[in-house]
Amino acid sequence: MATVKFMLQEFSWEDPYRVSRTEHVLTPALAIYPDSIATNIASTLRLLGGNADRWRAHIKTAKLNYTLRIMIDRGVCNFKCATTLELLQACQNGAADVLVAYPLMGANTRRVRDIKNQFPDVRISVLAENEQQVRQWQDASIGIFLDINPGMNRTGIEQSAEEKVFDVAQAVKQAGLEFRGLHYYDGQYGSVEEPERSKATHAGYARLLDLVRGLESRGIHVPEVVTAGTPTFPDSLAYEPFQAAEFMHRVSPGTVVYHDATSLAQLPSQYGYAPAALVLARVVSHPNRGIITCDAGHKAVSADAGVPTCVVVGHPELTPLSPSEEHLPLAVREGAEPPAIGDLLYLLPRHVCPTVNNFDAALIVRNGQIESVEKVSARGHEGPLLDDPDPGHRHTAAESVVGTAQR
């Protein structure tokens, strides 16, 4: 299949993104636009026929309690997450149902049990792909989704391994745990062009339905199937058998809340999505003819998706080059007038999720005004030590400090 590097090459300036009184803003800074968040949530719900129950939103993007509350206020109450900190924040802010979509082991399982005990009314589930992972949840009020590997080869049971899928599902039942369904993330198709992408994803969904039928024929009911992050969201929407399925089919895009230069290129423009998170940076140097530098290196705008790391909003003449930790050089198109030292630039990240995770706090901007500064509350991880259940164990001073980190 032909692949392309999906990313916007430029993004035109729109006045609602302007931030007033920037002389008081330390850069680089993360700016969040709640009106755009509301638009993006409304667009997603419209695509789901107005049924918020079909969206199991991945909160690795949202990160802020501020944003979670906007989503919950609009009826989104099913989430998935990747860390115990994200799980904790979701529970604290009113989520009804949270899937920890990550293969947890060791102390991480104890922490999920702790959180479940704190929030007994929240329906919490986890992933499993083998019997060892199932057994560690015995006697816990935790649901189990089987993680199915659609070919991304990151985690999960290979989609063709029908007998193993049945064996693990049977182990869930034998352990007295609630079998919640199947989790299927086909993000490997995000850089495949249409119509090849739809052809590939729909072939995978057909095999997924074969697994469902196989389990049902052996007496194991499949209540829910979760598919599609942001890249393959349109493909799940267009797959008609999901609409007629007896199970609850949910989609799990997360990037759609803020969007970035990748997702805006991947998804159809008629969906009506808009950026809701930008990074503010200042030009700090003109080191060479044809190059300027701003203060948004990869500690601000994530470089995990490659170079260029972003698009400079309203400046098609600027092309981001390879960043260092604190510096982002930009090539200036020949013949163009470069921004002056001290000028403010607005950067649309290539990958917004880890970019948000780079910041401790975000500016909330509405109509050009900074309404508030909000903590990026699900940034990073908890830990690194759980409270020791053995009262005879004596922590060192260092253990005592790190054991309370982020608690």
Tens-place pLDDT, residues 287-312: 999 999 999 999 999 999 999 999 99
Residue 400, pLDDT above cutoff 60: no
Residue 406, pLDDT above cutoff 50: no
Band of pLDDT at residue 387, cut at 50, 70 and 90: confident
For residues 294 and 52, what is the distance between their CA atoms, to the nearest angstrom? 40
pLDDT (tens digit per residue) in 27-83: 999 999 999 999 999 999 999 999 999 999 999 999 999 999 999 999 999 999 999
- Quick one: which of 273, 236, 340 has its CA closest to 8? 273
Report the share of the chain in percent with pLDDT over 70. 94
* Cα angle for residues 138, 143, 149 (degrees, 5° grid): 105
Report residue 403 CA to chain centroid gap. 27
What are the start-end ranges of the E strands in 17-55?
A: 29-32
Q: What is the pLDDT of residue 405?
A: 43
- Quick one: which of 293, 282, 275 has its CA closest to 351? 275
pLDDT (tens digit per residue) in 119-161: 999 999 999 999 999 999 999 999 999 999 999 999 999 999 9
Instruction: State the chain's mean pLDDT as an integer.
Output: 94
User: What's the average model confidence in pLDDT over 393-405?
Assistant: 44
Residue 87, pLDDT above cutoff 50: yes
Q: Which two tokens stand for residue 343?
A: 């000028």
User: What's the average model confidence in pLDDT over 261-271?
Assistant: 95
* Residue 358 amino acid letter: N
Residue 117, pLDDT above cutoff 60: yes
- Category of 125 on φ-ψ map: left (φ > 0), alpha (ψ -120 to 50) or beta: beta
* Helices and strands (H, E) in the chain, number of each type: 12, 18
DSSP 294: E
pLDDT (tens digit per residue) in 346-374: 999 999 999 999 999 999 999 999 999 99
- Read off the pTM: 0.93
In contact, 139 and 98? CB cutoff 8 Å: no
Band of pLDDT at residue 190, cut at 50, 70 and 90: confident
